[in-house]
Structure 1
Amino acid sequence: MAVPKKRVSKAKKNSRKANWYRMAKIKAQNALSLAKSLLTQRSTSFFIPTKLEEEEEEE
């Protein structure tokens, strides 16, 4: 026989929701920071080949 689940309190629901939004905000900040570092070419974790480097390798 099916038994209904117990309700989750508002405090617990709001706590989980706030945690989810906090994690999403942190991920968005990290992505924006990485994009800015790539645009300013100051990134140390990525290597972006330029056209000059590609032409030198062909020769």
Structure 2
Amino acid sequence: MAVPKKRTSKSKKKIRKSIWLNKTNEIALKALSLAKSILTNRSKSFYYGINNELGNNLPKSISNNQE
């Protein structure tokens, strides 16, 4: 027969939630930093296409999809 487990304390819930939130904040900061580097043409991991119609700031993969 299944027996319910003991209830998790509020402090343990807060600790687990804060760890989860810190991880998500770190991922969001990395994504924002990458987006900024792409927009300022400082990213070395993307190829940029030269297309006068769409502008020079768009990555090559995006400019090909919108034509």
**Band of TM-score, shorter chain:** 0.7 to 0.9
Aligned residues: 52
Which structure has the larger Rg? 1
Taking the TM superposition and a 5 Å limit, the aligned residue runs for 1:1-59 are 1-51=1-51
Relative contact order (C-alpha < 8 Å, sep 6+): which is higher?
A: 2
Taking only aligned residues, the RMSD between alpha carbons, in angstroms, comes to: 1.4
Q: TM-score, normalised by structure 2?
A: 0.68
Question: What are structure 1's unaligned runs of at least 5 residues?
Answer: 53-59
State the shift of 1:19 in Å: 0.6
Displacement over 3 Å in runs of 4+:
none
Unaligned runs of 5+ in 2: 53-67
Name 2:62's counterpart in structure 1: none
- Which deviates the most, 33-42 or 43-52? 43-52
